[in-house]
Chains A and B, each alone.
Chain A
Amino acid sequence: GAGVSQTPSNKVTEKGKYVELRCDPISGHTALYWYRQSLGQGPEFLIYFQGTGAADDSGLPNDRFFAVRPEGSVSTLKIQRTERGDSAVYLCASSLVGGQDTQYFGPGTRLTVL
C-alpha cells in the first residue's frame, strides 16, 4: 500500500515568509508525528497528533510553528515569519495506534529559507 507522502518535496522561501508543509499519512493510521532533521543530525521531535488533537506539542521550537490535523488524516505544518535557521528537512511519520507502535516516515520536505 501507499506509504506516508509529503508535499512539496522541496520548498525555497525568503526570510519572513509563511510556509505550509503537507503530510498524508498511511490510511487508517490514527497517530501522526512531525520531526525536523537538520543537516548531519538525527530527526528531532516536533509534535504528535492522536486523531485530530495535538497530544504533545512540546517539541515545537516557538510560537512561529503550528500544526493542524482537522479531520484526523492529513496534517499541515505551518511556519510563520520564517528564519534562515528554520532550514531543514521536515519529516512526517504515522503509526497505527500511537504510543510505541512503529513509526513510518515519509520522504520529507526540504525547506530552504534564503
Chain B
Amino acid sequence: QQQVKQSPQSLIVQKGGISIINCAYENTAFDYFPWYQQFPGKGPALLIAIRPDVSEKKEGRFTISFNKSAKQFSLHIMDSQPGDSATYFCAASRGHKLIFGAGTRLAVHP
C-alpha cells in the first residue's frame, strides 16, 4: 500500500521558473512532513520540513504548502537554478519511520 503518492515523476523547468512538486498522504496520524533532495551518488539530504499545525513554511527559495483537510502538501522552488537539478522526495512520519514518495526528478535548464 502506497501511503505517500508523489507527482510528477519528472519535471523540466527553465532557469528562473517555479518548480512545483505535489504529494498526497493517506494516514491522518502522520504529523511530520519533510522534503529531501538527492543528487546522483549521494544520500538524501533534508531540505525543509513542516508540521500540520501550519499551512505554509518558507526557507529561502523553498516553500512547503500544506493542506490538512485535503491530505496534500507541495514543494515550491522559486527562481529555480540549474544547481537545483536533483531528485526530490516528500516523506511523512509519525515517530521515527519516514515513509517516502517515489520521487520527482527535476531538471532546470539554463
Contacts and interface: CB of A to CB of B under 8 A. Distances in A.
B29 to A, nearest CB: 13
B51 to A, nearest CB: 9
Contacts of B42: 107
Interface stretch (A63-71, A78-86, A94-102): A94-102
Contacts of A55: 96
B44 A45 contact: no
Interface residues of A, number: 27
Contact of B96 (A4, A41, A100, A105): A100
B11 interface: no
B98 interface: yes
B46 A103 contact: yes
Given A105-B43, A107-B43, A42 B97 contact: no
A25 interface: no
Contacts of A59: 97
Interface in B69-110: 89, 91, 93, 95-103
A4 to B, nearest CB: 7
Interface residues of B, number: 24
A31 B96 CA distance: 9
B32 A106 contact: no
A56 interface: yes
B45 interface: yes
Interface string A32-75: 01010000111111001000000110110000000000000000
A56 B96 CA distance: 9
Report, nearest first, the 7 A-B pairs whose CB atoms are least far apart. Answer: A42-B100, A105-B43, A100-B32, A42-B89, A45-B97, A105-B44, A48-B96
Interface of A: 4, 31, 33, 35, 40-45, 48, 55-56, 58-59, 91, 93, 98-100, 102-108
